[in-house]
């Protein structure tokens, strides 16, 4: 059976690899956006999702940089550590550059006999009638605008700035997040010599990113600042996941604030859930038709909404503290984080989501 995926970004390519491993034929319709490469963007993948990705999608171990500790700070406690996550020197998550992962997936799929990459940017509904199941991973195509426009949306009045720092060699296996008065700032190690920075700044487009990073950097002897890019921050949760035999997927389902680096992790968990449903159909000789769309929605929508709402709550919590200009909330978080059970629970949710 042949399936169709709309969009050749990380979501579409990863899903395609997963489906091909099950013996399914996949046609991928690329968009012009898929050919744009932003070399300053990185993603973090939790250890639980890494194990699944390496086994069921594509082995990317050689591209990863392991993170073994996460440290959380707050401006209102004068950069004093309020939370600390580690697990006996084991990997909590790993960082990978977006463009390297996309390139690796593209190269792998080009070799697959069951996959066709189509540079048809102006496809129409008539081009897709032969497919019994269409998985839409694009935010701005005809189908998204026509069938998937209804969602719970939120604008943060913020812009996320990304860049890569080059610095002197250090043991670089600890990620940090600082909740500054401007917004959350994350330092995400890429190697002993490079670190990715994501700074979500409230209500500002024209800022001196270098000076702001220098203000909060206490760890790195920086030798070079890479090119910076920025994008507007929004969150959304789609109300209905499918229309007939067209299933929405990836960022089209859910967009998050990047403060916890969980966007692609949610997508990997969605791939896992969809894969399980497909495996069940194939084992029982059932057709892959629009029924799988409803089953996927029933299985994942409530978990995705709960998880994304949790991320939004974290953002609003520290945003409120910034407006109050006191450290009561940060002190409360620090106290909670010292509880071993709660600390372990936070790590487990970040690692696995709300697995049921």
Name the residue ranges covered by the structural domains of the chain: 2-352
pLDDT at 182: 86
Q: Which residues have C-beta within 8 Å of that of residue 242, sequence separation ≥ 6?
A: 248, 290, 293, 294, 296, 297
Buried b (16+ CB within 10 A) or exposed e, 226-258: eebebeebebbbbeebbbebbbbbbbbbbbbbb
Residue 78 DSSP label: T
CA quadruple 229, 46, 76, 307: dihedral positive or negative?
positive
Cα–Cα nearest to 31, from 15, 45, 17, 11: 11
Is the per-residue pLDDT at 118 higher than 90? no
Is the per-residue pLDDT at 356 higher than 60? no
Decide if 270 contacts 249 (C-beta within 8 A).
Answer: yes
Flag the least confident range among 51-55, 134-138, 141-145.
141-145
pTM over 0.85: yes
Q: Taking all residues of the chain, what is their mean pLDDT, rounded to a whole number? A: 89
CA dist 352 and 281 (Å) reads 25
Decide if 85 contacts 36 (C-beta within 8 A).
Answer: no
pLDDT at 205: 64
pLDDT at 314: 86
pLDDT, tens digit (0-9, with 9 covering 90-100), for 188-202:
999 999 999 999 998
pLDDT at 320: 77
Average pLDDT over residues 118-122: 75
Q: For domain 2-352, give the CATH number.
A: 3.50.50.60
pLDDT at 79: 64
pLDDT at 127: 81
- 35 class by beta-carbon count within 10 Å (0-12 exposed, 13-18 middle, 19+ buried): exposed
Looking at per-residue pLDDT, the higher value among 93 and 356 belongs to 93
Cα–Cα nearest to 19, from 5, 34, 35, 31: 5
Residue 121 binned pLDDT confidence (cut-offs 50, 70, 90): low
Cα–Cα nearest to 15, from 253, 214, 194, 234: 253
pLDDT, tens digit (0-9, with 9 covering 90-100), for 258-288:
988 899 999 999 999 999 999 999 999 998 8
């Amino acid at each position: 059976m042949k399936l169709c995926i709309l969009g050749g970004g990380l979501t579409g390519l990863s899903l395609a690899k997963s489906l091909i491993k099950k013996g399914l034929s996949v046609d991928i319709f690329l968009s012009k956006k898929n050919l744009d490469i932003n070399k300053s963007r990185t993603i973090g993948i939790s250890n639980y999702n890494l194990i699944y990705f390496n086994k069921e999608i594509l082995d990317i171990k050689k591209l990863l940089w392991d993170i073994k500790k996460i440290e959380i700070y707050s401006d209102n406690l004068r950069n004093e550590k309020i939370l600390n996550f580690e697990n006996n020197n084991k990997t909590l998550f790993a960082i990978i550059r977006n463009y390297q992962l996309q390139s690796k997936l593209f190269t792998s799929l080009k070799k697959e006999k069951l996959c066709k990459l189509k540079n048809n940017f102006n496809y129409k509904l008539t081009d897709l009638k032969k497919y019994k199941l269409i998985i839409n991973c694009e935010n701005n195509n005809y189908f998204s605008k026509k069938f998937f426009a209804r969602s719970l949306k939120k604008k943060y009045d913020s812009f996320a700035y990304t860049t890569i720092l080059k610095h002197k060699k250090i043991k670089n296996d600890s990620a940090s997040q600082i909740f500054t008065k401007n917004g959350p700032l994350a330092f995400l190690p890429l190697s002993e010599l490079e670190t990715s920075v994501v700074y979500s700044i409230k209500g500002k487009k024209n800022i001196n990113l270098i000076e702001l990073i220098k203000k909060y950097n206490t760890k790195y002897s920086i030798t070079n600042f890479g090119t910076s890019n920025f994008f507007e921050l929004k969150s959304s949760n789609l109300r209905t996941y499918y229309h007939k035999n067209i299933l929405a997927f990836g960022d089209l389902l859910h967009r998050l604030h990047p403060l916890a680096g969980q966007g692609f992790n949610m997508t990997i968990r969605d791939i896992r859930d969809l894969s399980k449903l497909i495996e069940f159909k194939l084992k029982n000789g059932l057709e892959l038709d629009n029924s799988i769309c409803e089953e996927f929605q029933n299985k994942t929508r409530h978990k995705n909404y709960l998880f994304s709402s949790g991320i939004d709550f974290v953002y609003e919590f520290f945003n409120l503290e910034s407006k109050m200009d006191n450290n009561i909330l940060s002190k409360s978080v620090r106290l909670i984080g010292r509880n071993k059970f709660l600390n372990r629970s936070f790590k487990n949710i970040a690692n696995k989501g709300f697995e049921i």
